[in-house]
Amino acid sequence: MTETRKARDELAEDVLGFGGRELITTRDLVLRPATVLQAWMDRGADGGGVYARPLRLYLGLNAILMLVLFLRGGSGFVLADLPAEMMTPLLEQSGKSRDAFVSDADGWMTLVMVPILSAFYSMAAAPLLRLWDEEDLGWRRGFRASFGWLCAWTVPMMPLAWWGYGLSPAAAVVGAIIPVIGVIAFVRMGRGRWYQSMASGVLKGIALMIAVQVSAMAGGILVGGIGILGALVSP
């Protein structure tokens, strides 16, 4: 029975990038996120052998989101708001058409977006989660907690991902919902650890979300700059 389960988990990991632990962790992040966080904090990065490591799970979830982004046409829309006075010199310098330039920039942005934004998110979240935790987490567990919360935020937003990219009205609505999901994930995961009363939990969740959104803007500028530079130097 154990060998059968192991083979099934390995097959799931090969096909989906998720094994049994990732699926169990995803389920429990929806049903009992505080329990998952407690396991990660008290029993190590794998929750005592029960759960997936939060960083690995977060990168796996983001890989799925990047696939959705690719299927939705890529991240070229990020450059849609560049004014003509900025885009025209770039096109002249590269010697490419606008479509070719955006396509090359999209490829570079897609390559670097996940690791860069993940780093920016965790650097914004970890100091706050350490500050609000009664335990002396240290930076290692502080970053573990931040990726734990990021996982708890990302899992429930996955069903909305298809409509979350681009410049459409639907993308704008999803963009407004996603921060609310992040605050709810914080409140559900951190009661008794990051906050005591519901009012303080909501306020801290909003503060955390503001910090992460500011970091996302900074990371997005870096990602966009890499995309533009890559489009300029690529043949």
Which residues are CB-neighbours of 197 under 8 A, at least 6 positions away? none
pLDDT for position 7 = 44
Which has more pLDDT, 171 or 36?
36
* Residue count (the chain): 235
Q: Exposed, middle or buried, 95 (CB in 10 Å: 0-12/13-18/19+)?
A: exposed
Place of tokens 């909305």: 160
Which residues are CB-neighbours of 58 under 8 A, at least 6 positions away? 118, 147, 150, 151, 154
Instruction: List, for residues 179-208, the tens digit of each pLDDT value.
Output: 999 999 999 999 999 999 999 999 999 999
Q: Lowest-pLDDT range, 8-12, 119-123, 176-180?
A: 8-12
User: Which of 11, 25, 117, 20 has its CA nearest to residue 62?
Assistant: 117
